């Protein structure tokens, strides 16, 4: 991936935030879930948020190796539809699961387009090909997503 693809790389975090907002919107429209289903869905979001924190710390490390955490995120996302179908409906849960999994798609032998993109962006910043502000703005999206996941978990569980 070359430095001319940075716009796409830096937009993955924003795409993730957009997906979380779509989840929040779906939750607001579909509120027939029982308490046990809501608790399970909230638990999954909290695990995803904790995993993102680990990924964020790993990406910030001198020699990033987020593969283990990306694998954990993929495991969490593989249960997304089953956990969220009772909360937001089958169709919406399946759609969001597919979209979220695409950010962590490891078929290219890397850590998925979002995380590999962040690591490449960091490398380009170290080489002076990208300014530090662009890097920080891109990486802060992981924090924003994590905070939105935690807030959404609270809304689901305590609604």
> What would the pLDDT profile of 36-74 be if each residue is shown by its tens digit?
999 999 999 999 999 999 999 999 999 999 999 999 999
Domain, as residue range, for 78: 3-158
Residue 131: its pLDDT value, please?
Answer: 86
Residue 157: its pLDDT value, please?
Answer: 85
Q: Is residue 55 a contact partner of residue 66, using CB atoms and an 8 Å limit?
A: yes
Per residue, the 3-state secondary structure of the chain, as one string, reads CCHHHHHHHHHHHHHHHHHHHHHHHHHHHCCCCCHHHHHHHHHHHHHHHHHHHHHHHHHHCCCCCCHHHHHHHHHHHHCHHHHHHHHHCHHHHHHHHHHHHHHCCCCCCCCHHHHHHHHHHHHHHHCCCCCHHHHHHHHHHHHHHHHHHHHHHHHHHHC
| Structural domains in the chain (count) | 1
Residue 73: its pLDDT value, please?
Answer: 96
Residue 3: its pLDDT value, please?
Answer: 44
Q: Is residue 41 a contact partner of residue 87, using CB atoms and an 8 Å limit?
A: yes
Q: What residues of the chain score a pLDDT lower than 70?
A: 1-10, 31
CA distance 72 to 41: 17
Q: What is the pTM of this model?
A: 0.88
């Amino acid at each position: 991936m070359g430095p001319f693809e940075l716009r796409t790389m830096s937009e993955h975090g924003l795409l993730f935030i957009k997906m979380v907002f779509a989840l929040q919107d779906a939750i607001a429209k579909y509120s027939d879930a029982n308490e046990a289903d809501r608790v399970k869905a909230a638990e999954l979001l909290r695990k995803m948020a904790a995993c993102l924190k680990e990924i964020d710390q790993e990406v910030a490390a001198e020699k990033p190796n987020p593969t283990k955490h990306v694998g954990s995120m993929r495991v969490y996302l593989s249960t997304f539809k089953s956990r969220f179908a009772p909360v937001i409906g089958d169709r919406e849960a399946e759609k969001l699961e597919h979209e979220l999994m695409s950010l962590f798609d490891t078929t290219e032998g890397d850590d998925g387009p979002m995380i590999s993109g962040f690591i490449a962006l960091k490398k380009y910043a170290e080489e002076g090909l990208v300014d530090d502000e662009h890097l920080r703005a891109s990486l802060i999206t992981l924090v924003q997503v994590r905070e939105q996941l935690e807030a959404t978990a609270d809304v689901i569980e305590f609604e």
